[in-house]
Amino acid sequence: MTEPAALPRSLAGVVFDAYGTLFDLSAIAGGARDVLGDDTEPFALLWRRKQLEYTWLRALMGDYADFWQVTGESLDYALAAMGRDDAGLRARLMQRHMNVPVYPDVAPTLSALKARGLKTAILSNGSPTMLTAAVNAAELRKLLDHILSVDAVRSFKPHPTVYALAPAALHCEPLDIAFVSANAWDVAGAAHYGFRAVWLNRGKAPAERLPGRPALEIGSLAELAPALPG
C-alpha cells in the first residue's frame, strides 16, 4: 500500500467502479466452467477485452449503446472466436452478468465508510438495470447513497463527462472524492479528471503509462478505510 499523503485531509465521499472492483467478473465465466472447460479463463479474458474495446470504440465513434448491448455484442464475438455457437450458453452468461457476486471484502468496506459518515456511490459503465440487479442481488443497496450509470451522459469511461456525474451527485468538488477502481486505465482517467484516485491493485500489476496517477495504491479493499484521512 502506498502512503496516503496525496489524499486530502477530508473527503465528502468514496465512489467505486463496479465491475472488477466490487463485482467479481471471474465468477461469470467461472460459473459455466462445466461447459467451457479449459477454455474458461481464455474465454473470460477475451470477452472482457472486447467488452472494454467496444465501449472505447463506440465512445470515439459517437455511437452509444448501453452496456447490456455492448456486453452481448462482445460475448457474441468471444463465442464466435472460440468456436462456440451455443444460444443456451450465451443466455446463461448474460444472466450471470445480472447477479455477478461481489468480492468478500466489499460489504465490510462499505459499512466502515458509512460508519465514518462518508457518502458512498458506484460510478459504472453498467446500465441502470444491470447495476440495480447486481446491487440488489448482493444486498448492498443500503450501503450505497448513489448508483450512477454512464447512461445519463451516453458515453463511457474514461470520458470526463462520465466522471462529472459523481461530484454533481455528491454536491462537492472532484478533489473531495476518492475514486476507487481495480482497472488501471479507469484510475488514470479518474485522476486526470481531478479525483483522488485509488488503485485497487489486487494482482500487483505495473502502472499504466497514461496521464493521471493514483494518489493511493492498495492491494485489497480491506486496506481502504484505514488509509483514508479523517
- Of the listed 17, 151, 176, 186, which one is catalytic? 17
CATH 3.40.50.1000 fits 4-24+101-227, yes or no: yes
The ranges assigned to domains in the chain are 4-24+101-227, 26-98
Confidence of residue 145 (pLDDT cuts 50, 70, 90): very high
What was the pLDDT predicted at 35? 86
Mean pLDDT to the nearest integer, 127-145: 98
pLDDT at 4 over 50: no
Residue 42 has pLDDT above 90, yes or no: yes
- The pTM (predicted TM-score) of the whole model is 0.95
Our answer to whether residue 39 is catalytic in this structure is no
Amino acid identity of 204?
Answer: K
Is the domain spanning 26-98 CATH 2.30.31.20? The answer is no
